[in-house]
Chain A
Amino acid sequence: MAERLTEETVQKIADAAAIALTDEERQTILKELQEILDFVDVLRAVPVDGVEPTVHPVPLAIFMREDEPERRHDREALLARAPEAEGGFIRVPRVLGD
């Protein structure tokens, strides 16, 4: 039996994921998330002791690249893609307090 989600847990998850939820959304999403959790609960039936986790599916040769700076983009062209930019910087709300 999967863990029972509560509205409080859903709100904590939403805070961590930085997604605002309305009260109504919180309730419908709780129900949908619970159904998915019940569905994935089947994994508890699999014995996994001593099994190595897979992080990447295919063996890769890790290689080092030369550490050479390279200019790929025009600064202004990239800043033009930000919702708000000014004087060569991306403009954001105040992060630190007064």
Chain B
Amino acid sequence: MAAYGDLLEERIPDLRRRLETGELAPEALLEAALERIAAVEDRIESFIALDPDAARRRAAALSEKRRRGEALGALYGIPAAVKDNIAVAGLPMTAGSRMLEGFLPPDDAVVTERLLAADAVIVGKANLDEFAMGGSTETSAYRTTKNPWHPDRVPGGSSGGSAAAVAAREVWYAIGTDSGGSIRQPASFTGIVGFKPTYGRIPRTGVVAFASSFDTVGVLARTVEEAAIVYDALHGFHPSDTTSLPRDREPVAPTLGRDVRGLKVAVPTFWLVGLHPDVRARTEEALRVLEGLGAIVEPVDMPHLAYAEAAYTILTMGEAASNLARFDGLRYGRRFSDARDLAALYAETRARGFGREVKRRVLLGTYFLSAGRYEDMYVRAQKVRTLIRRDFERVFADYDLVAGPTVPTPAFPLSERLSDPVAMYQSDRLTSPANLAGLPAVSVPAGFSAEGLPIGLQLVGDVAEDALVLQAAYAYQAATEHHRRRPAL
């Protein structure tokens, strides 16, 4: 490791400058990542698929591009991981499920196209909870990713492979998806930055659908600045996703460093109860740091936040039941049945192709959408979603940001919550409100528990205020040192 150690700690902007001048070659940076992966991957298990040869060909092609004197993209030569529910042509895409074992997507996702257009180097596909359903990455059909800070703790989920790969210095950034906290919760558990933009900022075409009105593509990186650089390369409307939004008025990364003096920050009282004591302490310290920077921090009452997790559970299960109906054992993916009867072929394929958690959610989602329950449960949850959105609208009439912890606890032990779905869902209770309301939100490192486990601060902005969220997170990070600590691996 010694030869590459310093390179692994460098930031994307510095690497990008050295790559542009030719002082550093994309091949050399990639070899640093591959050597690091070879050294730690058997302990961390961040990846479902790695393709070092394809990455080497890519790095060589990028070197050639520079020699030809062509303009170089914002992510030129920087190695990345992509969550395995996002299509990268040439690499298999499993979504963590047996159902898609061996599936080769015919196209790149739009987010992958944009990564490649920015001259990124994709080294592999990161592990995740099956179909992104989970908060620990343990429901993956393929492997159990470990938290780089503690081998007996979960990395969080569902983007746990993406988070672990960044925290373990296997790559400089990773792409994830966040439907209820799946980027921010693992970022909090692994001591990195996780940014979920406004719903629709990054198009979803080519991303395996879980709950379509919640699913959001976003970025995991070690610092806010790096997350903003990646976000700038990826966001903006694409005609293939009618729910995608236009670009920000200006690129966000150059606006970092703007003064946050006078910024009004609301802290929901409900977000400060029921917390692990160390999470509570770190959150209060973080809020004092924001005050020290000139922000005005005040408690607010948001009465419907207490119902977020229940509404989220009903709505995402209903949407998942509909989305996963496409896995029929006929058109693509695996078939696990020789039945000559169509109904039996479906039922056997789905029984063997889906894991336990996915079955729970598809079954309950089917129940919530059934004739007797639809009005009473599903539509009721949609109305509660409206009330949660109104709570945010009321607060954003007077405040710029909503702040609190990202997760009520530090990373929990492996297998602790696997057979206790309700306890697992509780780890989303502070993150799912941003998805219910479609809001941009970031988790930024805010210190450690007494046991040395990372704790995250969450900042949530109003719709389309992605830049403000990142500016405030950047100001906080510039005033703190938590992100400089790295796991002893």
Contact = CB atoms under 8 A, between A and B. Distances in A.
Contacts of B387: 46, 48, 51
Contacts, number: 165
Given A16-B370, A43-B384, A54-B382, A36 B311 contact: no
A54 B335 CA distance: 36
Given A10-B363, A33-B360, A20 B350 contact: yes
A48 B348 CA distance: 40
Contacts of A33: 360, 363-364, 367
B383 A52 contact: yes
B346 A81 contact: no
**A contact patch SS:** loop
Interface residues of A, number: 50
B239 interface: yes
Contact of A35 (B199, B343, B422): B422
A60 B363 contact: no
A32 B330 contact: no
Given A40-B314, A48-B384, A17 B330 contact: no
B386 A17 contact: no
Interface string B379-410: 11111111101000000000000000000000
B56 interface: no
A54 B389 contact: yes
B264 interface: no
**B contact patch SS:** helix
Interface in B346-373: 346-348, 350-351, 354, 359-360, 362-367, 370
B426 to A, nearest CB: 9
Interface of B: 103-104, 106-107, 198-200, 213-214, 239, 242-243, 245, 304, 306-307, 310-311, 313-314, 321, 325, 328-335, 339-348, 350-351, 354, 359-360, 362-367, 370, 377, 379-387, 389, 421-422, 425, 435-438, 463
30 contacts: A17-B366, A18-B325, A19-B347, A20-B348, A20-B350, A20-B351, A35-B422, A39-B310, A39-B422, A39-B425, A40-B314, A40-B377, A42-B306, A43-B310, A43-B311, A43-B377, A46-B307, A52-B383, A57-B385, A57-B435, A57-B436, A57-B437, A78-B106, A78-B332, A81-B332, A82-B332, A83-B329, A83-B333, A92-B342, A93-B339
